[in-house]
Amino acid sequence: MTKAQKFLQSLSDDKVYYADKTHVTCSMLKHLLKSPAHLQMYFKNPPKSTPAMTFGSAFHCMVLENDKFNDRFYILDTNLRPEKDKGMTSKVNKAWKAEEIKFAKDNDKEMVTYEDLEKIESMSDSMLKHPEVVNIINTCQKEQAFTWPINKMHCKDIIDAKGKIDLKSFDFIADIKTTAEYGGIDKFKYDCKKYHYDMQAAFYCDALGLDQFKFIVVGKDYPHSVGVFDVSEEFLAAGRSKYLYALDLYEKYFLSCDDQISDYMDIGVL
pLDDT at 26 over 80: yes
For the chain, the domains span 1-47+130-257, 49-129
pLDDT in tens, 31-45: 999 999 999 999 999
Cα 55 versus chain centre, distance: 11
- CA triple 184-213-6, angle to 5 deg: 130
pLDDT at 21 over 80: yes
pLDDT at 225 over 60: yes
- Residue 152: per-residue pLDDT: 53
Q: Round the CA-based radius of gyration of the chain to a whole number and report it.
A: 21
Among the residue ranges 26-40, 119-133, 147-161, 219-233, the one predicted with the least confidence is: 147-161
Q: What percent of the chain has pLDDT over 70?
A: 98
* Residue 156 binned pLDDT confidence (cut-offs 50, 70, 90): low
- CATH among 3.30.2420, 3.40.1130, 3.90.320, 1.10.3470 for 1-47+130-257: 3.90.320
Q: Residue 143 belongs to what H/E stretch?
A: strand 141-150
pLDDT in tens, 65-97: 999 999 999 999 999 999 999 999 999 999 999
Cα 51 versus chain centre, distance: 14
List all residues 6 or more positions away from 52 whose beta carbon is below 8 Å from its beta carbon: none
* Residue 157 binned pLDDT confidence (cut-offs 50, 70, 90): low
- Average of pLDDT values for 103-120? 96
